[in-house]
Structure 1
Amino acid sequence: MKQASMHVNSLVLDESNPRHEKKTASLEESIAALLGHNPEKLYRLAKDIAQHGINPAELPIVVIEGDRNIVVEGNRRVAALKLLGNPSLAPTEKLQKQFAAIARNNDIPRRVGCVIAESRTQAEHWIMLRHDAGGKGVGIVPWSSAEKSRFSGRSTPTGKALLFIEAVSKWFADDPNLVKDAHAVRNSRITNLGRMLADPYVRNRLGLTFEGDVILRGYSLEKMKPFLARLFSDLAGSVTVDQIKSKEQRKDYLQQVEDDLPRLADRLEIPQVYSKNGAADDPSTSSQGDLDDSIPDAKPAKRRRADFDKKLFRGVVLRHVSLRTSEVLEEAKQLKIDEMPNVAAIMVRAVVDIVATEVAEKLRWRRNQDTLKGRIGAVLTQVDPNKDNPDLANAWRFSQQDEGALVLKTLHSFVHTWESNPLSSDVRKLSMAYGPLLILADELLEKKRR
């Protein structure tokens, strides 16, 4: 086998690709079959290639048959390149526009490095290793959840669980039983804890927000300890995944341990920070007493704004809205409020409106859709009919009550008034108020599918 650089147009997709239910008869049929029932996967691959280039660690394998260079491994990558070069190959107008948009904004590779095999038989061994989940150690061995999290950071449920266990072990280092249970969960029940922490309802009830290597804690350690001791004891012992698999089961679990949970009235006005990179909790609210009270001249450290305070909609992830809406949110989350307050202000208004509008259209709401106030109010009424969710208190106050008219006028002016001069503090306050609403609005779409 040898390597060669080949023009994308000279490559032919494999009509006998095992991914196809039946042999295809043309390039268009092959592409339609690869798009299949989940075109978003190929779209995301195309977007990644446009942004980062072809993965040099995985070159397509090509077999030359007559005058055709047939791709026997790497059909999805080559199909993505062909779609970027000629979006009209996509089977629907919507997909054509999506691939054209990527190509329009990026420099698309026209040549790709390939491995040339003498025959399909020669290539077969390597293809099988690539798709045979490691080939008992001969091929690529998939990472475990913990290994993926250690490599990619803390964004996955397991990553959040690992970071949380690390924090709990430091917070309660003087409680050997709690630390022992936490380590037992880390070693054998880490995905169960990840399942709990991935649930917005659970995080909201515990007053927890995750952002990269940072945990924002809304209760003092003293108030959290009874529940955390119970949680880790249960996960290390009798509670199995079948008991916390669904959202309703997780809610039931919290109801069963209600007496151990911190009271909503005890929520801290200023959440405290745990950071893997060294930012510690404010000792004034910690039960651990990190500073030596015998030093009378000790001055509190100047509070620096942490990363999660610098950007919009910290910790908000939308999984059930359209791809475009979720991408708008992810792009908005990259904005640094203090550096670009005007753009950040516009994006707060835009993201809230886009999500509220999409949810209303998909759930076929007709009432109260003529104004931004009405659209936000419709979502609030659906997700918090009794107005008793503490995480939505500010969203209600900003949107519907006496202060609401002024706040909504401010949101409107962010986009439509040239005299508007938004303050970073106002943008940050609105982002924090509407973040929980976006999460719960997204969950309404999941409920509809079920």
Structure 2
Amino acid sequence: MIIKSVNIVDLVVNRANDRHGELENETAAIAWLFNERETHMRNLTKDIVDKGEIYEMPLVTPEGTKFVVFDGNRRVTCLKLLANPRKAPNTELQEFFTEQGARWKGEFPVAVQCQVEANRERIDEILFRRHTGTQSGVGQSTWDDRMKATFVERTGQSSGISVADEIERRLKEADMLPGAKKIPRSTMNRLLSAEPFRNRLGFSVTKGRFEFTHDENVALVAMARVANDLANKKLVLGDIWDVDGKRKYLDSLEHDGVLPNATHTLSGRPVSASPLVAKPAAVARQAKRNTLIPQTEYGLVWPGRLQRHHHIWEELQFRLQLTEHPNAISVLFRVLLELSIENYIVQAGVPVNDGDKLAARLIKVGKHLQTAGKIDSKQLGVLTKFQQSDQLVSADTLNRYVHSPNFAPSPEHLASMWDSLANVICLCLQA
């Protein structure tokens, strides 16, 4: 452990804090803290000003010339905004931090003592063990169940099955271990922390049980490649710290022909249209459809650049009720569709014209997906008809939802439109 004085301007509020999962940047992370914890943040700021110090050192790791905060993001945010109130999310908060800054006795500190840890595995071990009360926001905020789940999903740490142990055991039985070199198990667990990533290697972990989803021999070859890359440090923790990093590495394995594909799927298992998108098997059996997006697992993972997409998705899947909020749902459905299409265009490099409207962009994306083997001609046909105004699923219908004073969306119609476009939306979000 190294204790170091770090300039406040060199501290970066963590955009991938486990309180909220991956967000786009530091600004979004600061905004989240005030959207979700404004009272706590104000109380903490007043306490810091009253005492003239913070009582616990932030836990940070070096990243270039900066230091990313892994514990103490609220404290660091308060210090950064006291030093520069203009960074606060809105005018009211800017005035608050200006007033609090004026209360500071003596010269405001330029730097703060931090615990610096270069080993990110050690950072996760430290975070895993820290539990304190909230003390009305002055103390460290306790993680709720979703925050704990985010930590487990990011790191692969849980009290259940160890994916790395299971893989290592199977590779040993097949005499496919990478020589005498040890496999960094915590790094492997992080890479394979979520089902969509495990599925790409040809296995699944459900209800604490490891099982192959694709031909075992092919899956073992893919696992051996990952184990070798980790053991020989061709792949290190920093390479797969976030969703985009994990996806980039697995995409490279797919490009090399290492990963199992649909032809290797074991009998009786559904073949997904994409290695990262699992079609929701329980949609048709759902007892009652209360939300636009059925409350079943779609196999999505959310990088920070898709933070707004993620928030809209959660509103449509968990919060807005079809019978009570059809107008709000119809507008957000259109927004999610547009943002998803745009994400695919940017990430996959689909050529479009500036004047292309929603229908034209969707069709171009559909053709690109079909060429990539991710949708079939039947699915493309549904998208092609999207430009026809007399179709149930059409751009004209979505436009009327937003602009027409007389065109009222019905829960049944909205649900039908979602079911028709869900797979394409998921594929666009996973680009």
TM interval, short-chain normalised:
0.5 to 0.7
User: Structure 1 residues 433 and 108, CA, compared in 2 at 3 Å: closer, same or farther?
Assistant: farther
Contact kept, 8 Å, 1:325 with 1:354, in 2: the verdict is yes
Select the residue among 225, 234, 244 that pairs with 1:242.
234
Answer whether contact 2:81 2:97 (CA < 8 A) is retained: no
The equivalences for 1:403-418 within 5 A come to 405-408=391-394, 409-417=396-404, 418=407
Question: Deviations for 1:385-442, whole angstroms, at most 9, x for unmatched residues?
Answer: 615114x7776343125898541244444434523314163254146323323324xx
Question: Is 1:152 equivalent to 2:140 in the alignment?
Answer: no
2:311 equivalent to 1:319: no
Cα displacement (A) at 1:271: 5.2
Q: What is the percentage of aligned positions where both structures have the same residue?
A: 10
Q: Partner of 2:361: helix, strand, or coil? A: helix
The offset of 1:41, in angstroms, is 1.2
Confirm or deny: 8 A CA contact 1:46 1:80 kept in the other structure.
no
Identify the residue that residue 76 of structure 1 maps to in structure 2: 77
Residues 348 and 397 of structure 1, relative CA distance in 2, 3 Å threshold: farther
Does the 8 Å CA contact 2:295/2:317 hold for their aligned counterparts?
A: yes
The alpha carbon displacement at 1:77 in A equals 1.2
Residues 315-345 of structure 1: per-residue CA shift (max 9 Å, x gap)? 5455364765665455555434545561333
Calculate the aligned-residue CA RMSD, in Å.
6.4
Q: Is the 8 A contact 2:49 2:100 kept in 1?
A: no
Query: What does residue range 95-134 of structure 1 map to in structure 2 within 5 Å?
Result: 99-100=90-91, 127-128=112-113, 130-133=114-117
Please state if 1:226 is matched with 2:221: no
The size of the alignment, in residue pairs, is: 344
CA 1:402/1:353 → structure 2, altered by over 3 Å: closer, same or farther? Answer: closer
Unaligned runs of 5+ in 2: 14-22, 58-74, 132-142, 178-182, 236-245, 273-278
Q: 1:236-276 deviations in whole A, cap 9, x for unaligned?
A: 96452636872443315663555993169952798568xxx
Q: Is the 8 A contact 2:345 2:351 kept in 1?
A: yes
Separation in structure 1 between the aligned mates of residue 219 and residue 203 of structure 2, nearest angstrom: 16
Give the alignment's TM-score, normalised by structure 1.
0.51
Q: Which has the higher contact order (CA 8 A, sep 6+)?
A: 2
Matched, 1:396 2:399: no
Partner AA of 2:303 in structure 1: R
Offset from partner CA, 1:14-56 (integer Å, 9 cap, x none): xx971447xxxxxxxxxxx989xx9941442244134313356
2:25–2:304 Cα contact (<8 Å) kept: no
CA offset at residue 347 of structure 1?
Answer: 1.6
Q: Is the 8 A contact 1:63 1:118 kept in 2?
A: no
Aligned mates of 1:307, 1:398 — CA distance in 2: 25
Q: Deviations 1:261-300 (Å, cap 9, x if unpaired)?
A: 3169952798568xxxxxxxxxxxxxxxxxxxxxxxxxxx
Pick closer, same or farther for the CA change 1:162–1:354 going to 2, 3 Å. Answer: same
The Cα shift of 1:109 comes to: 8.7
Change (3 A) 1:376 1:224: same
Contact 2:196-2:301 within 8 A present in 1 as well? no
Tell me the equivalent position of 1:310: 294
Match of 1:371 among 332, 353, 357: 357
Q: CA contact under 8 A between 1:356 and 1:379: conserved in structure 2?
A: yes
Report the counterpart of residue 18 of structure 1 in structure 2: 7
What is the distance in 1 between the residues matched to 2:290 and 2:221? Answer: 29
d(CA) in 1 for partners of 2:54, 2:195: 42
Name the CA distance, whole Å, in 2 between partners of 1:228 and 1:337. 44
Which of 117, 126, 140 is 1:142 aligned to?
126
Structure 1 pair 131–333 and aligned structure 2 pair: CA distance change class (3 A) = farther
Report the 3-state secondary structure (helix = DSSP H, G, I; strand = E; otherwise coil) of the residue aligned with 1:155.
Answer: helix
Any conservation in 2 of the 1:160–1:194 contact (CA below 8 Å)?
yes
**Matches of 1:431 and 1:313 in 2, distance apart?**
16
**8 Å CA contact 2:196, 2:300 repeated in 1:** no
Residues 155 and 385 from structure 1, CA distance in 2 versus in 1: closer, same or farther, beyond 3 angstroms?
same
Tell me which structure has the larger Cα radius of gyration: 1
